Chain A
Amino acid sequence: QSALTQPPSASGSPGQSVTISCTGTSSDVGGYNYVSWYQQHPGKAPKLMIYEVTKRPSGVPDRFSGSKSGNTASLTVSGLQAEDEADYYCGSYAGSNREVFGGGTKLTVL
């Protein structure tokens, strides 16, 4: 039951786009269309940004989008804004009533 693999950091300038990857295996990311993404600001609880690979909960800006290819899922943030600076975590169903998270990516807006 290993954590999903994310790059520790990512960055972009305001207005630019940045993509964060989340790599798993055929037993989790690749095997199910149940990948989610969470944003966490310091000292705050995580916030759901994307669910079921591509869906956005109500209230999440359409600047946030998700995709998946094989065992790797991606979160793209377009039109970067200062308030997007946060930690981002991916999550996936891993079968047999188990869920798994990625190690997290710190997004810096330059």
Chain B
Amino acid sequence: EVQLVESGGGLVQPGRSLRLSCAASGFTFDDYAMHWVRQVPGKGLEWVSGISWNSGDIGYADSVKGRFAISRDNAKNSLYLQMNSLRAEDTALYYCAKAFSSGFPAGGMDVWGQGTTVTVSS
């Protein structure tokens, strides 16, 4: 079964850091680009960051550029999001998503995890 499982979310104070993980299974992880997408409850989807199959191409939304860092470990079938200098507006459900393609453009995101919740509050 193709599956993505996110972890690492939680309650964190403003200015602190958090690292999200996404464990992939059921497909050849290093054939595909991967993305992080977030959603504030009751609001829309916001693309956060993406990484190509070999980490050669990386992109970030303007709202997180310079604070977040995406990475992947193909040997471990895992995707990561290091989130630094967290702000209240980063509070959201964070989804990990598999792209159709190996790089950019994503060509569509066809597999999604169930998400991990990040709450930034003092």
Contact = CB atoms under 8 A, between A and B. Distances in A.
Interface string B25-62: 00000000001010000001111001000000111111
B31 to A, nearest CB: 17
Interface residues of B, number: 28
A97 B114 contact: no
A91 B58 CA distance: 18
Contacts of B9: none
A34 B112 CA distance: 18
A51 B110 contact: yes
A103 B97 CA distance: 18
Interface centre among B62, B107, B114, B115 (most CB of A within 10 A): B107
Interface in A71-100: 89, 91, 93, 96-100
B54 to A, nearest CB: 14
A30 interface: no
Contacts of B63: 1
A46 B112 contact: yes
A10 interface: no
A32 to B, nearest CB: 6
Nearest to B63: A1
Contacts of A36: 106-109
A45 B113 contact: yes
Contact of B105 (A34, A45, A47, A102): A34
Nearest to A93: B105
28 contacts: A1-B61, A1-B63, A3-B44, A32-B105, A34-B107, A45-B113, A46-B95, A46-B97, A46-B109, A46-B112, A47-B112, A48-B109, A50-B108, A51-B100, A51-B108, A89-B45, A91-B45, A91-B106, A91-B108, A97-B50, A97-B59, A97-B104, A98-B47, A98-B59, A98-B104, A99-B50, A99-B106, A102-B44
